[in-house]
Amino acid sequence: MNSKGFAPMIKVENLTKDFGPKRAVDNVCFTVERGEVLGFLGPNGAGKSTTMRMITGFIPPTAGRVTIGGYNVAEQPIKAKQLLGYLPENAPSYHDMTVYGFLNFIAEIRGYAGEAKKKAVNRVVELCFLESVLHQSIDTLSKGFKHRTCLAQAILHDPPVLVLDEPTDGLDPNQKHEVRTLIREMGRNKAIIFSTHILEEVDAACTRAIIIDRGKIVANGTPDQLRKLSKYAGAVTVRLRDVPRATALARLEQIQFASHTSVLEEKEGTITLQIFPKSGGADDQLLKAISEAVHGWQIELLKVEEGRLDEVFRSITMPDTAPAATSRS
Amino acid sequence: MKSSALSPCQILHLQQPQEANMKTSLRYIYTIAKRELGVYFTSPLAYVFIVIFLLLCSFFTFFVSGFFERGDASLNRSFFDWHPWFYLFLVPAAGMRLWAEERRTGTIELLLTLPITPWQAIVGKFAASWIFLGVALLLTFPIWITVNYLGNPDNGVILCGYIGSWLMAGAYLGISSVASALTRSQVVSFIISVVICLFLLLCGFPPVINMLERIAVSDTWRWIVELIASFSIITHFDGFGRGVIDLRDLLYFISVIVFGLYTTGVVIRAYRAG
């Protein structure tokens, strides 16, 4: 129970799943509160979908437990599922039904009838832009529409908990943007988990992100915190014109707040250098010292690196190849 | 959890009275069955199925059995006797998509994460197919009209035959349901259920029984022949055709259905557990 007096909407404790001898999910723990959008990152086969399937109660865990809104998914599955909207991977839906028929079926299962059913269906049809295909058979729809139809069924009952497995997979950039906006808006009063391997989505929609690799959580924090894990975070890049390499390096390496300086690129009379701070974070003093150091030179570029999620992702999930990835600097 | 700190979800979902559970269950089953039936009748499968079934029934009744030459105003030998053989192929065809299709398209994940129990889904789907088979069976009514026009059959016996035939279809369907849950391929599901149904059919088929009796001449082995024969669909269906509803026959078909549905549940649980 947190300071607000509410139990976390999603609570995952020591969740483990074995498929035969292979451990797909290994002792995963996290919580999601109302108002949080949790991005679930990881390479393919890391156990993202398996974890989500256990959260939604589709597959039973080997060990550990999941609680949705205070209900244990294994012991009170119906209560837990009532609070839950789920978009499975690849957005399956009944292809031999029309969009309208399908949403009506979901509404009836969710306990809606009469006027309330009509209202609930109309609401999601509007939210997911499905008016134009409402009476078409689902198998005649484009991938984007199929996807949004499945998303519509997940949010039909306006659930306090949403689990979305790759909600933007296979959508065009505009649709991706719409779905992300929708997730961000819904995230204000829901607890949302969504998985993705598109890192920009984490920035676009998440308040927090978890990186999972080989079944284990390897990082957990806000996008900014994760970025800080990057060794580029807080580094300053400068591009100078007509300055000899040795001179530039000599002067920049004397800065006391910098740990080291590396040359990124030399071409056509310019040199690009990167100065790394001693202890993470874009230090004002470092920036000031650099601007003093380069005074009098012709500066073409001066910027503070924020740290890149993709680099963090790579270095965390592929530790063996991390040096190779950074060798270009 | 303190009572003063109720989570919003607990306020939303106040305790439901216990007696409402049965009613909600039935509503879920009804909703699932309605969807399944809708799918049957929006796809060409249903019409192809019904047309083939009716053609087979008419052809075998009127031409192969020589209905007109018999001079017998009943439907027992000429009509109902063929049903175990028609159903051998037609019921697995009607039941093969029940779960295989859900597994293939991944909708099983959607269905089983809805707030319903697996058995509600299993029963709902089974009920839809069974009702569909019932509709196909009822559409053979012109044969009943014909026999009534030509003579004075015992309509009680005919009704009894229809009930038996529908129950037998249910038993085949229970087996098809298991086969369908076992695989994501409808073809494999069809073959598995035909083989199992064929076994249940043949173990009471007179030539097979005769052969078994020739092997087991001594009285000590007779009980095995009887045991095998007692598993047969034909021996249990026979009574219905003659207008006799024996409790044992009724129990046989119902237990095959229940066993089928229960096993479907076990198979689906095993599938989910991975």
Q: Which tokens is A181 given?
A: 């906006």
| ipTM of the complex, rounded to two decimals | 0.83
Alpha-carbon gap, residue B65 to B58, rounded angstroms: 10
Q: Per residue in A91-131, pLDDT tens?
A: 899 988 999 999 999 999 998 989 999 999 999 999 888 99
Q: Check whether A3 has a pLDDT greater than 90.
A: no
Contact B161, B241 (CB under 8 A): yes
What's the mean pLDDT in A159-185? 88
Contact A248, A271 (CB under 8 A): yes
pLDDT of residue B226: 77
B35 CB within 8 Å of a chain A CB = yes
Helix %, strand %, coil % of chain A (to 5): 35, 30, 35
Q: Per residue in A194-238, pLDDT tens?
A: 998 777 788 878 889 998 988 888 888 888 887 777 777 777 888
Q: Check whether B2 has a pLDDT greater than 60.
A: no
Q: Smallest Cβ distance to A96: which of B10, B28, B43?
A: B43
Residue type at B82 in one-letter notation = W
User: What is the DSSP code string of B123-150?
Assistant: HHHHHHHHHHHHHHHHTTHHHHHHHHHH
Alpha-carbon gap, residue B259 to B233, rounded angstroms: 15
Q: Per residue in B189-245, pLDDT tens?
A: 999 999 999 988 888 777 777 777 777 667 777 777 777 777 888 888 888 888 888
β-bridge partners, A30? A12
With beta carbons under 8 A apart, name residues in chain A contacting B10: 69-70
Nearest CA to CA, how far is A4 from chain B (Å)? 9
Q: How many CB atoms lie within 10 A of CB A253?
A: 13
Q: Per residue in B27-47, pLDDT tens?
A: 999 999 999 999 888 888 889
Which of residues B108 and A317 earns the better pLDDT score?
Answer: B108
A56 CB within 8 Å of a chain B CB = yes
Alpha-carbon gap, residue A80 to A61, rounded angstroms: 15
Angle (nearest 5°) at CA B152 between B149 and B158: 95
Contact A264, A237 (CB under 8 A): yes
Q: Check whether A308 has a pLDDT greater than 80.
A: no
A13 CB within 8 Å of a chain B CB = no
With beta carbons under 8 A apart, name residues in chain A contacting B114: 81, 106, 109-110
Dihedral sign from CA coordinates of B151, B69, B157, B170: negative
Cross-chain Cβ contact B13/A83 below 8 Å = yes
